[in-house]
């Protein structure tokens, strides 16, 4: 079962539904801040689901993301980020990128 964004908000993908009060384990590919996970959990709850835990392939927060349920990952790493005016000298020649897939407007 999948969630998709409709007008910027997660909802169950067309054609999917939850049975009466099912327990759900929510799975994501990558967790960075946990925001998408929290939004997904809220969407599942809005459709009557009870998220009892979550998993991801990679936890880029190194275990620091609080999504409201236990999060298990295959790999947990801590990714360092910098403000534009505070980039270490050895990184200034590398073009800055803003990774992520939210692409919200």
Please state the φ and ψ torsions of residue 19, each to the nearest 5 degrees. Answer: -70, 175
pLDDT of residue 17: 77
Q: List, for residues 89-99, the tens digit of each pLDDT value.
A: 999 888 877 76
Domain ranges across the chain:
24-79
Kindly report, residue by residue over 29-72, the tens digit of the pLDDT: 999 989 999 999 999 998 889 999 999 999 999 999 999 999 99
pLDDT of 20 reads 75
Work out the pLDDT band at 10, boundaries 50, 70, 90: confident
Evaluated on CA atoms 101, 27, 66, 79, the torsion sign reads negative
Residue 104 pLDDT = 54
Let me know: does 97 contact 68? Beta carbons within 8 Å.
Answer: no
């Amino acid at each position: 079962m999948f969630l998709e964004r409709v007008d910027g908000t997660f909802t169950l993908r067309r054609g999917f539904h939850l049975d009466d009060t099912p327990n759900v384990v929510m799975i994501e590919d990558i967790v960075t801040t946990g925001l998408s996970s929290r939004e997904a959990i809220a969407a599942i709850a809005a459709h009557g689901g009870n998220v009892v835990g979550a998993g991801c392939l990679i936890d880029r927060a190194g275990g620091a993301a609080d999504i409201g349920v236990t999060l298990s990952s295959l790999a947990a790493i801590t990714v360092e980020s910098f403000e534009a005016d505070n980039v270490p000298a050895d990184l200034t020649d590398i073009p800055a990128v803003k990774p992520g897939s939210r692409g919200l407007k």
